Structure 1
Amino acid sequence: MTLSLKLINAAIYGTLGAIAVFLAATLGWPAWILFIGWISYFQFGATLRNAGNTIILMSLGMLLAMFMTLCAGWLAPYWGNYGILPVVFILIAALSFLEHDKWFGNMAAWFLGMVVFFAAGHPPELTGLPDLGLPVATGLLFGWLSAWLFSVARRNLTTHNPL
């Protein structure tokens, strides 16, 4: 990559990163959730189709984590803090059966969804899913936008620069 392209790429990432943080702060979203989505765009194939699959699987991972939390709460009177152990064992073991499925097999996306839910500290309520899913989806969009802007810049630079 030429120095010109590196500078353009840096400007694209810097500008979009600042816009992303501003947007997250304005909307009251944790910026880290948005950046998980941005990273996921590149980690899981860097296409819009893969981004759609990723947001679905991450959302399902968030729902699974909510369900785990509810089940652990139901077991808490009997198992205390250890109620989460059989829940995680059973649900993650069941999830592993999807590992080789073409559509549902992206285990990393499922687990990232669970990480987002647990790290955000939200109660296990469906009404909180948009508070987590929208920043992830926006991050995926920022990932696509950064890749698209760079491809446009690269195409224009190579077309107009004979070096």
Structure 2
Amino acid sequence: MTTAPVSRRAYTLVTVTAALTAAFAAAGALHAGWPVWTMFIGWIAFFTRGLTTRSSVENLACVWLGLALGALAALAIATLAPVLGVPLAVPLVVLVVALAVVSLRGLPVLNNLLGYFLGLVAWFAAHLEPSLAHLAELAGASALGSLAGWVSHHVPRRLIARH
């Protein structure tokens, strides 16, 4: 979705396409048993940078890696909290995870800092126990959202280009 001046017809087409795509993606998330908000993590990630198919895959991969880091952080907190106490374990784990994530911004690919943080936020907001099944659930929901973002951006552009 762009903020560049467009015709009223193009503006309406983009708006309606995005709304319909969001509605279908929300229905898909509900059908899969996922909270609708989890789908929007991928949608937001799509629009963080690039807007190409390649960048959408890279953005989504950063979200997925953020989810995995979130699950590992949750495991680390659960392991350290009984020994160090929550007031020390949480900041210590956050320090290590933040060092890792912020360092990844220098990679030639998979350097979407916002994508990593979206994955981390999604993991902790979901309040799930660390497991591969829960990772897959959040990864699937974010993939649905990323696909919906891609559709809402590319379909109107292709339709507009035809006319």
Task: Assess same fold via TM > 0.5.
Answer: yes
Counterpart CA distance in 1 for 2:32 and 2:12 is: 30
Note the residue ranges of structure 2 that are not aligned, 5 or more in a row.
1-5
The one-letter amino acid paired with 1:41 is: F
Structure 1 residue 2: Cα displacement: 1.2
In structure 2, what is the equivalent of residue 3 of structure 1? Answer: 8
Paired residue for 2:75, among 70, 75, 78?
70
1:26-105 pair list within 5 angstroms: 26-82=31-87, 83-105=89-111
Counterpart CA distance in 2 for 1:35 and 1:95 is: 21
Note the residue ranges of structure 1 that are not aligned, 5 or more in a row.
158-163
TM-score (norm 1): 0.89
Counterpart CA distance in 2 for 1:50 and 1:130 is: 21
Are 2:159 and 1:141 equivalent residues in the alignment? no
How much is the aligned-residue C-alpha RMSD, in angstroms? 1.4
The one-letter amino acid paired with 2:75 is: L
- For residues 67-118 of structure 1, the C-alpha deviation after alignment (integer angstroms, 9 at most, x for no partner) is 1111111111122222111111123223333221111322111111100100
Counterpart CA distance in 1 for 2:31 and 2:101 is: 36
What percent of counterpart residues are identical? 29
In structure 1, what is the equivalent of residue 3 of structure 2? Answer: none
In structure 2, what is the equivalent of residue 161 of structure 1? Answer: none
TM-score (norm 2): 0.89
C-alpha contact (below 8 Å) 2:34/2:141 kept by paired residues: yes
Q: Which moved more, 1:75-84 or 1:56-65?
A: 75-84
SS state of the match for residue 130, structure 2?
Answer: coil
Q: Which has the larger Rg?
A: 1
C-alpha contact (below 8 Å) 1:20/1:34 kept by paired residues: yes
SS state of the match for residue 99, structure 1?
Answer: helix
Aligned residues: 157
Counterpart CA distance in 2 for 1:11 and 1:109 is: 26
Runs of 4 or more, structure 1, over 3 Å off, are none
Counterpart CA distance in 2 for 1:72 and 1:32 is: 25
